[in-house]
Amino acid sequence: PAPVHVIGGGLAGSEAAWQLAQAGVRVVLHEMRPQRSTEAHQTDSLAELVCSNSFRSDDAEQNAVGLLHQEMRALGSLIMRSADANQVPAGGALAVDRDGFAAAVSAALEEHPLVEIRREEVAGLPPAEWDSVIVATGPLTSDPLAEAIAKLTGEGELAFFDAIAPIVHAETIDMSVAWRQSRYDKVGPGGTGADYLNCPMTREQYEAFVAGLVAGEKVSFKQWEASTPYFDGCLPIEVMAERGPETLRHGPMKPMGLTNAHKPDEKPYAVVQLRQDNALGTLFNMVGFQTKLRHAEQVRLFRTIPGLERAEFARLGGLHRNTYLNSPKLLDRSLRLKAEPRLRFAGQMTGCEGYVESAAIGLLAGRFAAGDRLGGCVAAPPATTALGALLGHVTGGHLSVEGEGPKSYQPMNVNFGLFPPIEGPLRAPDGSRPRGAAKAQAKKRMFTDRARVDLARWLSGDTTPAAEAAE
Ligand code: FAD
């Protein structure tokens, strides 16, 4: 049979090619470096890490990305195998020697008898005779291909600029301070008039907050970002704060149309609004709070907002060039472009964020494509696993309920907010009812225990989630 073509030998493309080859399917992997490079890559190795050398936490019991590591290892991931073999000390995190890691991935693929590597740019839509293609060209996809994809998917469906606001775990918002209300109690499509969470500020709190934004340490623009204009609709909050002390109060922090449910007689001087971010209602994004403040600075400053003192962030704000699809709208459940199903997408282009997540979606795309080529059908992993939760985010589980539909789709790391909630009371592993800080730990443990059971079931060919099987 004809080979499957994988475009892009980054984190996702390398893993996809490996999964295909290991399943017995011939692969042609097209990587444009060194013939043409990106603004961030510096070598011609496959799976080059463009920035940090960390794969983040390796704790598979308390951390969603650690769980994702574990699941990928169970599925024979080349990225995880190469990371494990090139580990450097980093506490509970999995960090790697970047050169050793990339060399290991490159060697494994170069030596695989079913993999052919072509060092060439695919400068436009792949030729029609390639009947199965995985596009894994990443956030810095070369212009001719990005333009061709944008044309195919419709203008506006391929974001080129990533302005993201922080996302908070709903359960960490203090609802004795915050209240639910839409501005002017407006009822939008599918809304209730109480779709937003609101955090009130006094004049003193607002002024201190604005001063903190102006003084806060920002991430500096990379040279290649310097010419990227701000879109007026997504100015970073610190840029707005610099324009004058009142700017935010007349912008995203305006108090109009809102009444503090806890103190109806006190008119808030400013209000921070949070909008539901996922269908499960476990995540809320801070409306209009896209920012280039350093991450530690964001956490420190945003926790001064009344109601967010103990906020835990599923994602912090940021602003950088990014090319990704509105994939919940454009892709089917096995990552194929609905408009042209011979094209499958993987990696950061699908709107996951991070090395591990990109590789994970590459792993799934490779398995789905292998299933198609071999005439079988590969079932998607259960939504209760880290792989399944991430796939759900990418293919539609993440739709905003605010009537904006997938327009609000934003890249995201894997996190427990993407998992279906745990039913029933919280239990520690010894069966006791946990209290205080132990509660959060017990909850994470229940997520990861459930995921392990469901992954094992899925690997054994039984696709019924444990919860249903137990009924
Ligand atoms: P990539 O790893 O970028 O792979 C895409 C590959 O496709 C590249 O090798 C590229 O050369 C090739 N390619 C592009 N166009 C073509 C074409 N037309 N034909 C052939 N080949 C092509 N994530 C983290 O977890 N930690 C970080 O520290 C981090 N820092 C980042 C810094 C920057 C500047 C950026 C842009 C992203 C960063 N990310 C980080 C996010 C993301 O995890 C990485 O970008 C990750 O590498 C994405 O994996 P990928 O496989 O989708 O894309």
Task: Indicate if the pLDDT at residue 471 is higher than 70.
Answer: no
Number of neighbours of residue 88 by Cβ within 10 angstroms: 14
Q: Give the Å distance between the CA of 140 and the centre of ligand 1.
A: 6
pLDDT at 235: 77
Closest CA to 72 of 118, 16, 128, 125: 16
pLDDT top residue among 107 and 408: 107
Q: What's the mean pLDDT in 150-163?
A: 75
Q: Which pLDDT value is given to residue 177?
A: 98
Q: Output the pLDDT for position 276.
A: 82
Q: How confident is the model over 172-189, as a mean pLDDT?
A: 88
Q: Which residue has the higher pLDDT, 400 or 27?
A: 27
How many CB atoms neighbour CB 48 within 10 A? 23
Dist. CA 10 → ligand 1 center (Å): 6
Q: Which of 406, 328, 354, 369 is nearest to 135 (CA)?
A: 369
* Mean pLDDT score, 126-142: 96
Amino acid at 469: A
| 335-371 exposure pattern, b = at least 16 Cβ within 10 A, e = fewer | bbbeeeeebbbbbbbbbbbbbbbbbbbbbbbbbbbbb
Q: Tell me which of 50, 223, 356 to substitute to probe ligand 1's pocket, judged by most ligand atoms within 8 Å of the beta carbon.
A: 50
What is the CA(29)–ligand 1 centre distance, in A?
A: 15
Please give the pLDDT value at position 443: 92
Q: Which of 6, 149, 358, 410 to mutate to test the pocket of ligand 1 (most atoms within 8 A of CB)?
A: 358
> Is the model more confident about 154 or about 390?
390
CA distance 381 to 107: 29
Q: What is the ipTM of this complex?
A: 0.99
Q: Is the pLDDT of residue 228 over 70?
A: no
Alpha-carbon distances, residue 313 vs 93, 267, 272, 278 (angstroms): 18, 28, 15, 14
Query: Can you give the pTM of this predicted structure?
Result: 0.81
Token duo for residue 419: 């998992």
What average pLDDT score do residues 82-88 get?
95
- Percent of the chain at pLDDT above 90? 67
What is the reported pLDDT for 252?
93
Atom of ligand 1 lying closest to residue 356 CA = 25
Binned at pLDDT 50, 70 and 90, residue 427 comes out as confident
Alpha helices in 384-436 (DSSP H): 386-395
Asked which of 124-128, 164-168, 250-254, 311-315 is least confident by mean pLDDT, the reply is: 164-168
pLDDT at position 400 is 41
Measured in whole angstroms, how far is the alpha carbon of residue 258 from the centre of its chain? Answer: 31
Q: Indicate if the pLDDT at residue 125 is higher than 80.
A: yes
The whole-number average pLDDT for the span 330-358 is 95
Q: Alpha carbon of 169 to those of 54, 286, 295, 414: distances in Å?
A: 23, 11, 16, 13
Considering only residues 50 and 75, tell me which one the structure prediction assigns the higher pLDDT.
75
SS3 215: helix
Q: What's the CA-to-centroid distance between 2 and ligand 1, angstroms?
A: 27
Query: Is the per-residue pLDDT at 227 higher than 80?
Result: no
- pLDDT of the residue at 58: 95
In whole angstroms, give the CA distance from residue 75 to residue 71. Answer: 6
Query: Which pLDDT band, with edges at 50, 70 and 90, does 403 fall under?
Result: very low
321-330 mean pLDDT: 86
Q: What is the largest CA-CA distance in the chain?
A: 74
Which ligand 1 atom lies nearest to the CA of residue 349? Answer: 52
The pLDDT-based confidence of 277 (bands split at 50, 70, 90) is confident
pLDDT at 285: 87
pLDDT at 468 over 70: no
pLDDT at 383: 94
Calculate mean pLDDT across residues 230-258: 87
Residue 408's pLDDT band, with cuts at 50, 70 and 90, is: low
Examine the pLDDT at 318 and tell me if it is beyond 80: no
* Cβ contacts of 251 within 8 Å, gap of 6 or more: 240, 288
Å from CA of 79 to ligand 1 middle: 14
Provide the 10 A C-beta neighbour count for residue 118.
12
Query: Which of 217-221, 355-359, 379-383, 450-454 is predicted least confidently?
Result: 217-221
Mean pLDDT rounded to a whole number for the chain? 89
Asked if residue 328 lies in contact with residue 395, where contact means CB atoms within 8 angstroms, the answer is yes
Residues touching ligand 1 (Cβ under 6 Å) are: 7-13, 30-33, 38, 40-41, 50-52, 121-122, 136-142, 145, 320, 347-349, 354-355, 358
Return the pLDDT at 388. 97
Length of the chain as a residue count: 471
- How far, rounded to the nearest angstrom, does the alpha carbon of residue 57 sit from its chain's CA centroid? 16
